[in-house]
Amino acid sequence: MPDNRLPEQDFGLDDIPANPPVHHAEQALLGALLLDPYRIKTIGTLGPEHFASAGHRALFAAMAALAPPAPALHAKKPVWITAVLDHAHPHARGLTTAYLHTLVSACPEPAHAAAYARMVRADHARRTVLVHAELLIQATTDPSLPDPAALTLRRADALACLFDDLAASVPSHPGSLPRTPPPPPPPQSREADPDITSEEQLLLSAATARPAALPSMRWLRPEDFALPLHGALYRCLTALAFRGEPVDAVTVLWEAQQHGLLTQAFAPKDVLELLAAPAGPPEHWGEQILLRSLLHHAHTAGLHIRAYAQDPANSTHQVITGGRRALAELTAVRVRWQHATSPPPPGPPRARPAPASRAGPPAPRTTARAASSRSSR
């Protein structure tokens, strides 16, 4: 039987991806420090963790740990290169003397070491933001978490603190929005989830049966609902409660008609059936809806920040600006979530009446005028 399989393509040198620009910046910086080890004091705050390459991390750690040789000795003998290689080799076995000479050749100008260091720090900042964004996205999509809201908010706080730390070391400039367009929404919409649809229907029916709970549920908004139609019905409920009008299935149906919600696909019978099976307190279902809204906003913020950090065309300041804007939308939902789940503050202490005297009723008060008339007598 003939073999009709296509022959496998050979892997050639052209298939090897090109090194990113930060690789050349790291090479230029290390080459500058090999040529002039005393320039390490002029490059600002930099550590081995800022380098993307493991070999480069080992080399910079050796340069930071070793004392540079005397200038006269450094000009005559390669003692500095030898010392750096001996110190770094146990941590990166692939390093050779030839590669250190390659680093020296890769440095266009040793005097530009500070500029190369800024490039290394900028790329490290972008990679760090990317890692934190991935952690935020993971926290919003892990169904095994016992308290996804708490972990999600901690990851969001970590991102906000990272942006604050980076902003303190990055010069700002106007007009620095990210060039990257926001990514499209996830392929599976929340509207297709039957659990979400069921919870929203239960909230609407429970709130119709117990409208007294609506004034205390100001933390829930129509935009928190996954289905816009359910959010519009909730707006009808809150409008009736705000005006102090009766709330039941018929009044909600009439309000829905006034808001233009009734169509051939959503007839009056559908509204009455949706509101006819209340179960549980409205506050419980409201918290579930708000939790999903919180996770949805955090997931969207993580996707936006990841897109900004993945695009190397964005500067560090642009990533910070775009990331802070993405987190700001999450903050608004977070405030309402904390208001919904926090226990009510304790009321003011009641004033205790003054204890009665055991010696009998209090003596009558004497005015100053009566006391002066007595003394004149």
204-228 as b/e: b if 16+ CB within 10 A? bbbbbbebeebeebebbbeebbbbe
Tell me what the mean pLDDT of segment 330-358 comes to: 74
Which DSSP category does 20 fall into? P
Whether 328 and 184 share a structural domain: yes
**Domain hosting residue 94, numbered range:** 19-108
Task: Examine residue 190 and state whether it is found in any structural domain, yes or no.
Answer: yes
Task: Examine residue 371 and state whether it is found in any structural domain, yes or no.
Answer: no
Whether 168 and 266 share a structural domain: yes
DSSP string, 169-231: HS---SS---SSPPPPPPSS-GGG-HHHHHHHHHHHHHHHH-GGGGGG-TT--GGGSSSHHHH
CATH, residue 99: 1.10.860
Whether 214 and 335 share a structural domain: yes
Domain boundary among 77, 108, 139: 108
Whether 91 and 172 share a structural domain: no
CATH, residue 172: 1.10.860.10
Percent share of the chain, pLDDT over 90: 74
Task: Examine residue 150 and state whether it is found in any structural domain, yes or no.
Answer: yes
Query: How many domains is the chain partitioned into structurally?
Result: 2
Task: Examine residue 114 and state whether it is found in any structural domain, yes or no.
Answer: no
CA angle centred on 94, ends 90 and 97, rounded to 5°: 90
Please say whether the beta carbons of 54 and 92 come within 8 A: yes
Task: Examine residue 297 and state whether it is found in any structural domain, yes or no.
Answer: yes
pLDDT of residue 125: 96
Task: Examine residue 211 and state whether it is found in any structural domain, yes or no.
Answer: yes
Whether 143 and 62 share a structural domain: no
Residues 6+ apart with CB under 8 A from 298: 136, 139, 140, 152, 153, 155, 156, 330
Whether 197 and 323 share a structural domain: yes
Domain boundary among 108, 140, 162: 108
Tell me what the mean pLDDT of segment 233-249 comes to: 95
Least reliable range by pLDDT among 173-177, 179-183, 197-201, 351-355: 351-355
Say how many CA atoms lie within 13 Å of 238 toward its Cβ.
16
- Give the pLDDT band of residue 362 (cuts 50, 70, 90): low
pLDDT of residue 171: 74
As separate numbers, helices (DSSP H) first and strands (DSSP E) second, the chain gives: 14, 0
Whether 165 and 297 share a structural domain: yes
Residues 6+ apart with CB under 8 A from 256: 232, 233, 236, 262, 271
pLDDT of residue 193: 80
Cα separation, 275 vs 251, whole angstroms:
11
Q: pLDDT tens across 169-178, in order?
A: 887 666 678 8
pLDDT of residue 183: 82
Task: Examine residue 376 and state whether it is found in any structural domain, yes or no.
Answer: no
Whether 101 and 125 share a structural domain: no
Domain boundary among 83, 108, 133: 108
Whether 125 and 81 share a structural domain: no
Q: pLDDT tens across 252-298, in order?
A: 999 999 999 999 999 999 999 999 988 999 999 999 999 999 999 99
